[in-house]
Chain A
Amino acid sequence: MAKVLVVAEIKQGVLKGSTAELLSKAKAIGAQTAVVAIGSDIESLLPDLVGAGADQQYIADDARLALFSAGPFAACVVDAARQFDADQVWFGFSESSKAVAPRVAAQLDAACATEITDVMFEQGHIEVIRPAITNKVLQRVRINTERMVAVVRAGAFAADPELAGSENVVRLAPPPADLKAVIKELVSEAGSEIDLADADIVVSVGRGARNQDGVELVKALAEELNAGFGASRAMVDAGFMAHNKQVGQTGKIVAPTLYMAIGISGAIQHLAGMNGSKVILAVNKDPEAPIFNVADYGIVGDLFEVVPILRQEIKKIRS
């Protein structure tokens, strides 16, 4: 039987949905499962970790793990993987996962597959599906090693609400600090805003919004909808939006129920981050904008005119 270790995704003290999604997939293929949770002050997450559905929980809880540092985090994952004798280590999709997974793979002498959307257990080996070339193609990749480390693309697997875990906790020793790459500071940009990755609705602003006033206008729409608020790279580079709000190939991958692209042209690198959304709405004044080729609903118009009406109409329909 396959043994799958899932790395818990914890953000600002909260266990994220990807953890249960990955565990559900592991269970669905009949694997024995464990979860490893890494951070500081995370003891209180134990019920959630059990609830996420693993047979076993590895916990590395140490004050020195409060800030992300790839070396120590990788050391914890490797420690858990060795103790559990995992042949699969799966990460949810995040910037931290992308930094840690290749380290873990190198240390376990395992193959490494990033951004996978599916995993198949073929006779005697594993195959994964993943997009490549800025989402222009899918690759079917054969894993030649016994062990595999994977980063699973957001939205690839669904959580099984029936899944129940059992409590079997192993506490991990704190890892050695990385003395040569010392995390000094986190310049936080997140605040209490809704996490893009698990928002039901995401509203993103593009260069069409022009300036801070435009950004505020679109932000008000996001707030109205209780939606995650993202941006194209153009708005991040221009300094209007924080880095961790960038949606796209080199930013966040999102797959919400509804994605609103406001003043975004629809470059392939942006599409790579959001074309897994269930429904896409685009507002753009250029009827030829490529975003309309992927949008289910398109409004051709000036966002400065359309967005306030959108807010009004949504308010109306919701009340």
Chain B
Amino acid sequence: MKILTTVKKVVDVELNIHVKDGAIVEDGLQYVINAWDENGVETAVQLKEDSGAETTLVSIGGGDNTDVIRRCYAMGIESGMHIDDPALEKADAFIYARVLQKVFEAGDYDLVITGKQAQDTDNGQTGIILAEYLGLPCVSNVIGIEVLDDKHLKVSRSGDAGTEIVALELPAVVTVDVSINEPRLPQMRGLMMAKKKAIEKMDLTALGTSADEIGCAAPKSEIVAFMATEKRSGGRKFEGDAAEITARVVDLLANEAKVL
């Protein structure tokens, strides 16, 4: 089984993010591997270890992606490519999906693993659109994968009414949720080895396509401004005798907030 796993470098959401004049203040931002993609990488590596899968990753955009890709190498991914091109500056999910389509078609993959969503966009679209473009079956929000044979997986996804069990025929696309596994921490040795591994760098031409073919000039949507979210402010906090403060708060909920 040949696996292509997608990895995006995204802004670290745990740090403060400030908005000024409709744009995010770049100063002080840090970049990390998208959390869901880390689960995707872990999924791929487990499939390598348990079922002998071959693992390749692709990351698009993001400038210098070396650290992110090396981290995935250290986790056990065997090869990786980084696609970057100035034409991708305004890429939306459809454009990324078109690029991924080219990557898929240039390889001979059985399974594409993407994250359920990217932490910077929170779109949750790219993998599903890719599957549509490729005409492949797709299961999103996957929380478990079992290999049945060369051509079939049994996957579980978290759905509205419970866990849905799906028989999936390869080639296919899955998007994984963070609940699927606990990504391993790369070890020092792995990180050292990862430094020696090559990262294949490509622009759209090297990928065998062009900005025109991908439709880079016409994103279906584009962000015109960022705004600060309305911050909730903390209200009243009660400390002291549990019986007393709890009775007080229940009274406030009923008679002040009127929500009981």
| In the assembled complex, A242 has its CB within 8 A of some CB on chain B | yes
A183-B226 in contact given A98-B140, A102-B125, A299-B245 (Cβ < 8 Å): no
Q: A130 CA to B259 CA in the complex, in Å?
A: 28
Contact A242 B162 (CB under 8 A): yes
Contact A298 B236 (CB under 8 A): yes
Contact A137 B17 (CB under 8 A): yes
A107-B140 in contact given A68-B159, A143-B220, A144-B218 (Cβ < 8 Å): no
Q: Mark A48-79, 1 if CB is under 8 A from B, else 0.
A: 00000000000000000001111100000000
Contact A181 B168 (CB under 8 A): yes
> Within 8 Å CB of A103, what residues of B?
128-129, 132, 138
> Within 8 Å CB of A67, what residues of B?
164
| In the assembled complex, B205 has its CB within 8 A of some CB on chain A | no
Contact A134 B166 (CB under 8 A): no
> Within 8 Å CB of B254, what residues of A?
317
Q: Mark B65-87, 1 if CB is under 8 A from A, else 0.
A: 00000000000000000000000
Contact A178 B232 (CB under 8 A): no
| In the assembled complex, B106 has its CB within 8 A of some CB on chain A | no
Contact A297 B13 (CB under 8 A): no
> Within 8 Å CB of A186, what residues of B?
159, 161-165
The closest CB in chain A to the CB of B127 belongs to: A102
Contact B237 A287 (CB under 8 A): yes
- Docked complex: A71-120 residues within 8 A CB-CB of B: 71, 94-96, 98-99, 101-103, 105-107, 110-115
> Within 8 Å CB of B253, what residues of A?
258, 279, 281, 297
Q: A111 CA to B236 CA in the complex, in Å?
A: 43
Contact B161 A11 (CB under 8 A): yes
| In the assembled complex, B235 has its CB within 8 A of some CB on chain A | yes
> Within 8 Å CB of A134, what residues of B?
13, 119, 122
Count residues on chain A whose CB falls below 8 Å from chain B CBs.
Answer: 93
The closest CB in chain A to the CB of B241 belongs to: A301
> Within 8 Å CB of A309, what residues of B?
242-243, 246-247
Q: A143 CA to B257 CA in the complex, in Å?
A: 39
| In the assembled complex, A29 has its CB within 8 A of some CB on chain B | no
- Docked complex: B68-118 residues within 8 A CB-CB of A: 92-94, 97, 116-117
CB distance from B252 to the nearest CB of A (A): 6
A142-B222 in contact given A132-B121, A314-B250 (Cβ < 8 Å): yes
Count residues on chain B whose CB falls below 8 Å from chain A CBs.
Answer: 84
| In the assembled complex, B11 has its CB within 8 A of some CB on chain A | yes
Contact A133 B122 (CB under 8 A): yes
> Within 8 Å CB of A314, what residues of B?
250, 260
| In the assembled complex, A199 has its CB within 8 A of some CB on chain B | no
The closest CB in chain A to the CB of B232 belongs to: A294
CB distance from B53 to the nearest CB of A (A): 19
> Within 8 Å CB of B133, what residues of A?
106
CB distance from A197 to the nearest CB of B (A): 9
CB distance from B100 to the nearest CB of A (A): 13
Contact B140 A138 (CB under 8 A): no
Q: A253 CA to B181 CA in the complex, in Å?
A: 22
Contact A180 B161 (CB under 8 A): no
Contact A297 B236 (CB under 8 A): yes
- Docked complex: B181-200 residues within 8 A CB-CB of A: none
The closest CB in chain A to the CB of B235 belongs to: A296
CB distance from A267 to the nearest CB of B (A): 9
Contact B122 A188 (CB under 8 A): no
A102-B128 in contact given A133-B11, A258-B253, A297-B249 (Cβ < 8 Å): yes
Contact A137 B122 (CB under 8 A): no
> Within 8 Å CB of A313, what residues of B?
246-247, 250-251
Contact A244 B239 (CB under 8 A): no
> Within 8 Å CB of A298, what residues of B?
234-238
Q: A105 CA to B93 CA in the complex, in Å?
A: 11
| In the assembled complex, A145 has its CB within 8 A of some CB on chain B | yes
| In the assembled complex, A293 has its CB within 8 A of some CB on chain B | yes
The closest CB in chain A to the CB of B120 belongs to: A133
Contact A114 B125 (CB under 8 A): yes
Contact B179 A237 (CB under 8 A): yes
> Within 8 Å CB of B161, what residues of A?
11-12, 68, 186, 188-190, 244
> Within 8 Å CB of A96, what residues of B?
159-160
| In the assembled complex, B178 has its CB within 8 A of some CB on chain A | yes
| In the assembled complex, A243 has its CB within 8 A of some CB on chain B | yes
> Within 8 Å CB of A301, what residues of B?
239, 242, 245-246
- Docked complex: A110-155 residues within 8 A CB-CB of B: 110-115, 127, 129-145
| In the assembled complex, A212 has its CB within 8 A of some CB on chain B | no
| In the assembled complex, A162 has its CB within 8 A of some CB on chain B | no
CB distance from A266 to the nearest CB of B (A): 10
Residue contacts A-B, CB under 8 angstroms, 9 given:
A113-B221, A141-B221, A180-B168, A184-B154, A186-B165, A187-B165, A258-B253, A279-B253, A297-B235
Known A115-B122, A243-B143, A300-B237; further 18 A-B contacts with Cβ < 8 A: A12-B161, A133-B119, A134-B119, A138-B229, A141-B223, A142-B221, A142-B222, A180-B169, A181-B169, A183-B165, A186-B159, A190-B161, A190-B162, A244-B160, A250-B179, A268-B13, A287-B237, A297-B253
Interface set of B (CB-CB < 8 Å, partner A): 11, 13-14, 17, 19, 22, 24, 36, 92-94, 97, 116-117, 119-125, 128-129, 132-133, 136-141, 143, 154, 156, 158-169, 172, 177-179, 218-229, 232-239, 242-243, 245-247, 249-254, 257, 259-260
